[in-house]
Structure 1
Amino acid sequence: MPNHNAAPRIVITGMGAVSAAGVGAQALWRAARDGVSCVRPLKLERPYAGRIKIAAQVPDFDPAAHIEAEWLPYCDPFTQFSIVAADEALAQAGFARKEAGGPRTAVVIGTGIGGAMTIDNNAYQEYKLNRRPETLTVPRLIPSAAPTTLGMRYGAKGPTFALASACSSATQAIGEAFEMLRAGRADRAIAGGAEACVINGSIHAWEALRVLTPDFCRPFSQKRNGMTLGEGAAVFMLETLESATARGATPLCELAGYGTTSDAFDPLRADVEGPTRCMRLALESAGVKPEDVDYLNAHGTATYANDITESEAMRQVFGDAPPPVSSTKPVHGHALGASGGLELAIVISALREQIAPPTINFLEADPKCPVDPIPNQARKMPIRVALSNSFAFGGINATLAVRAI
């Protein structure tokens, strides 16, 4: 096991979220803790004749209520979500806007698609209405729009980039920011994920893969039949413990470890070995043993094969009795590149309140998923160390480990 004693400890001093539960990390946590599904009837700007009629969309979001008018022409909804989440994170961390920036502040934002709504709208205007693209189409749609906008907003002049690894994007973005701080390349990082993909084109595309449920997302349960698409953003302020202590900040938790692997196996199907090694690397990075883990927030998509694969990987790491596990995707949807961020925000709140959120919509145990899924009701329990898993198409895996401080 590597010796990380000489490496700086990394803490999270602020977090923010925009989700199907509304604006705010606390709104997201309340929904997850209380088992309140935020999946609603699908709302789209243009007619939609598909089979799937539900999604976990951000309700009643008015960007002008949160973001200055001069920024909005450059911002696809995924960038809007990231701004609102980042503003919340920095405020909780105790930073006025430009105080967080400087040459030693990095920005890393994960996204699976980037400006999906801009792409969809532009395609509709060009092919259906025969109109020319809007002037700012390119700055709105590029995945780097979110991190560069945040960099400009806060004056962050350190390493700044977007990270795209499908459903692992946010978790990898946070993990790579963690590694940058641990390696001494920066003192602070604004990191997370954002996605705004509930649009006509995306829904039809996901329908074609046969992975969306028409009714209830039921991770690890018998009769599970797929996931529900979601959207949103979660952003975190990462700092070295030394930096946070020097300015009198109170950390929410320690970001203790990170693992990432690739299955190199199949474009769509998950493999057991890659996620197993990923979780082990996160534990090794954090300097903790499997038996030290009290709670695990699973990737838990509720697709038939993926839940079986993830369950087997957990048993490979933890033995016959993995720690209590929940998937919160039935609450906030599968927000693709933002999911790992939303789930980390929930994990941090679970750690701080010592309550593990439930896996809702659970019917009965599947013998092929022999884990404790915390079915339907939250569980008050000691949580000192927790993991959060994200496993993506293409076999890109990422796991974060957090610890109470």
Structure 2
Amino acid sequence: MADTLTDYPMSRAGGCPFDPPPALTAAQEEGPLTKVRLWDGKDYWLLTRYADQRAVLLDPRVSAEADRPGYPLQAPSNGKNNISFIMMDDPEHARLRRMVTAPFAVKRVDAMRPAVQKIVDDLIDDLLAGPHPVDLVEAFALPVPSLVICALLGVPYDDHDFFQENSRLLISRDTTVEDRTAAHGRLVAYLDRLMGEKMDHPADDLFSGLVARVRAGELTRLGAAQMGVLLLLAGHETTANMIALGTLALLEHPEQLALLRDTDDPAAIAAAVEELLRYLSIVHSGRRRAVLADIEVAGQVIRAGEGVIMPGEIANRDPEVFADPDRLDLTRDARRHVAFGFGVHQCLGQPLARMELQVVYGTLYRRIPTLRLAADVADLPFKHNGGVYGVYELPVTW
């Protein structure tokens, strides 16, 4: 274990926007565990190896609940910004999660593919008909998942600017406690009003289904609104960043981009999505847990009341699991990655995210084969200050 504690999160190296921070790579090379210091001045265990992270994420002796002693908070909190079951333990986590599992089942998601294909094609039509250079984030990467999740949840897309602005405040580490609480409150209030409308006029959407749970006494109205915040946030923020950052990575690796542009094989496109998820691992503040009872990890006892941080981006670069892990290789079998987490808390919406990315990556570069950057990579504004990594803008032309 290193003698000198490193602050976490760590900084990426200039000119290496797709790679984990050098200090994180060094920590993995030095040993499976080290200690790092967070914003609160306290020390926490950092787990860097793929196998150790998966084992701990399966261990019932660790907790996802932020009010447990030792939990490594990402930023100051007053405990009021509940984002539903993602930060709960079983059995309550499982009970609430089951309420929204069905719409994200693989068969249900596959049935949505033609509608998502139309969204993608229509937006590309707009790109081709409009002026360029254009910001791909604003014109394409954000609208695709926003339109999809709004349709699935039953949220009016006309309000997308409102929920995107407040979502950004929620996931930024630089947001004050007061501003984060206010943003969360605005989203909860918005969804609570929407719930009232759904009670009077239910539709065939996920949020109407939650309203039915409220009527049946299985869920409080506040709980339904908080669950809506989680689904709305997760449903557009992560996928939007994967679309933009994945496109940038491909433009910087033209031989890999050609593999996608020149194929219509669904299996090849699906494999490319998995490799991009592994390579980029955009959820980059680490999965965090509080230890409830003493556990042993790689020969080290971690005591009850201590906290652990498990960065997925370094687990997905573990050379014990992925050969030559720093190389982007769309032909690699990367399905074992932990970009969506692992265990009971792994991402509920991963079938939807995979399908959206397959449609996007399988369509955009084929329809705009000369797509290229309209700025220097060094000048792009990267999202170093939040829980989801990406770019704020991506100027492109063709």
Q: Which structure dedicates a bigger proportion of its chain to helix? A: 2
TM range (shorter): under 0.3
Q: Which structure dedicates a bigger proportion of its chain to strand? A: 1
TM-score (ref. length: structure 2): 0.26
TM-score (ref. length: structure 1): 0.26
- Decide which structure has the larger Cα Rg and report it: 2
